[in-house]
Amino acid sequence: MDKLKLRSTIEAARASIPEEERHAASVQIRESLLDQPWVQMAGLVACYWSIGTEPATHGLVFALWKHGTTVILPVLRDDDDLDWAVYDGPDTLAPGRFGIMEPVDTRRGVDTIRTAALVIVPALAVDRSTGIRLGRGGGSYDRALARVGPNVPTVALLHEGELLDGVPAEPHDLPVRYAATPGGIVRTAPHLP
């Protein structure tokens, strides 16, 4: 299946999940992540502000911030690369490009993600054996993942059924080390450190 068809199939499946079920799934993902020592010890976490039918990150971002973690969120630049700014509570967000909420804090630059101890990214699917993630097609997160250190945990948040035995890949597609689903956290890409 090609990327466009797979994206369309997954987006349709996500839209069919009842809101209560999506909410419960997001809570399970958040709690599983917060139970991980490598999440608890991360002083700087790069995350994203979820939209639409994505597994919700709002509660996760807030919980990390309340725990004392510095959370940076992406700011979509005009060239579709990701700049980063610090989240400092729910009142510090404003709509950015495409209406996606972004921190109003000073932009820290595209290379700020290099300093993150944990990177949480959106995905429509992840290949369970290679860790290759299927994004929305803009390439923004592949560029950001290329800047992440080799030993930094990278996690894609997924609904059940989105961890697949095969995801179409192109040379620029980069893997994630973990997939977090309502059923738990799965280590992908065993070839990575």
Residues belonging to the binding site for ATP are 3-7, 133-141
Query: Measured between alpha carbons, how far is 93 from 120 in angstroms, rounded to an integer?
Result: 18
Tell the residue number behind the tokens 């510090």, with chain if given: 92
What the block records as the tokens of 48 is 């994203």
Query: Measured between alpha carbons, how far is 156 from 177 in angstroms, rounded to an integer?
Result: 8
What the block records as the tokens of 124 is 């429509």
Residues 6+ apart with CB under 8 A from 178: 153, 154, 155, 156, 185, 186, 187, 188
Query: Measured between alpha carbons, how far is 174 from 100 in angstroms, rounded to an integer?
Result: 24
Query: Measured between alpha carbons, how far is 38 from 136 in angstroms, rounded to an integer?
Result: 27
Q: Which residues are annotated as a binding site?
A: 3-7, 54, 133-141
